[in-house]
Amino acid sequence: MTARLAVEGVTVRFGGRSALAAVDLAVAAGEVLAVVGPSGAGKSTLLRVVAGLERLDAGRVLLGDRDLTGVPPHRREVGLMFQEHALFPHKDVAGNIAFGLRMQRLAPQRVSERVMGLLELVNLVGFGDRPIQSLSGGEQQRVALARALAPRPSVLLLDEPLGALDRTLRDRLVVDLRRLLTRLGITALAVTHDQQEAFTLADRIAVMDAGAILQVGTPKELWEKPRSGRAASLLGFANVVDVDVVGGVAQTPWGAAAVDAPDGPATIHIRPGAVHLDADAAAVDGTVVVARFAGDHTTVQVAVTGAPLLDASVATSGAPRPGDAVGVSVDPRGVVVLGGRSDPDERSRSTRGVRSLGPDHAP
């Protein structure tokens, strides 16, 4: 039976460094929550804490009303699925799926029935006697998922579940995984560095950095209102910049834009679709440096003297090319105020290793 999962005040230290710093996070029964952040943010450590594979320095983990303090991993009622799949090469597909069931000492007939049901669930009917080495990456991923689900865990933990697959296969399988988790209604906690994957997979997303949770919300909430410039950068948002607001107008490097914010320093996000490239004499002069084709839209990066590169999402028909001179202006309706001005050093750390969502997904 699925259950609510909560971590309360969880702290883990490695030497003098806090991998997790008093983390509070709750996953509702039947909810899929994804944790995103760069390498070293503490995502996998959090997952290992829930699984019972990492010692706590402070805090506790609750599964329903049950405190898991001191409970060994094999008694926690959690299913684990790793990036590398960790399948047994000497066992066939059915043998891999049945491993946890045999550890429970179930009758052979019940094991066989459960394995057959799981093969059907993950669309691998007829694959039971196949060697693991004969499977594609996507098929191995499905076997790993079936093995994690076999003991009927209360919570499913996913550690970069699609990270070992190529982009095209990941884009297809994340939709299948989302559909399957929804169908099962299982509580799931997934960690990933891939923002696009998280937005597709999860009911809610927790943004994590340096062992702390920066923001938790639905994909829509995060898209509409990142809490800070740092959170926005970790979510892969382009065009996050510090500005001064004077008289309700943000003074950006690409021209002034009216905003709903008090006067003073602020951090804003300019949605790529709100960046207009035209020949308006009042626009700021810029030069196209990159144009990335994406079907109906093209993402264009524009250089303006003394300003960071600016991403614009424009219709592919008539899109400018690298080297073209353009006039740059900003539609105020596409400017989101994120909060007070960010620390430049933090901005640098938070964007290191972060991949943009791309023109079809970027806010």
Q: Say what the pLDDT of residue 189 is.
A: 96
End-to-end CA distance of the chain: 37
- Binned at pLDDT 50, 70 and 90, residue 344 comes out as very low
CB under 8 A, 24+ apart: contacts of 169-176: 169/137, 169/138, 170/194, 170/197, 171/196, 172/138, 173/138, 173/141, 174/200, 174/201, 175/200
Structure tokens at 319: 């899109």
Tally the residues of the chain: 363
Choose the weakest-confidence range: 65-74, 170-179, 289-298, 316-325. 170-179
Alpha helices in the chain (DSSP H): 43-51, 93-103, 108-121, 137-149, 167-184, 195-201, 219-224, 229-234, 344-351
User: Which residues, including other chains, have CB under 8 Å from residue 211's CB and lie 6 or more apart?
Assistant: 12, 18, 19, 20, 21, 23, 41, 42, 45
> What is d(CA 180, CA 257) in angstroms, rounded to the nearest whole number?
44
* pLDDT one-digit tens code per residue, 83-130: 666 788 889 999 889 887 877 777 888 888 999 999 998 888 998 889
Q: Say whether pLDDT at 173 is over 90.
A: no
| Full set of structural domains in the chain with CATH | 5-222 (3.40.50.300), 238-351 (2.40.50.140)
Question: DSSP secondary-structure letter at 356?
Answer: P
* pLDDT one-digit tens code per residue, 233-251: 888 888 998 999 999 999 8
* pLDDT one-digit tens code per residue, 130-170: 999 898 888 888 888 888 888 889 999 998 877 666 677 77
Tell me if 299 sits within 8 A of 273, measured CB to CB. no
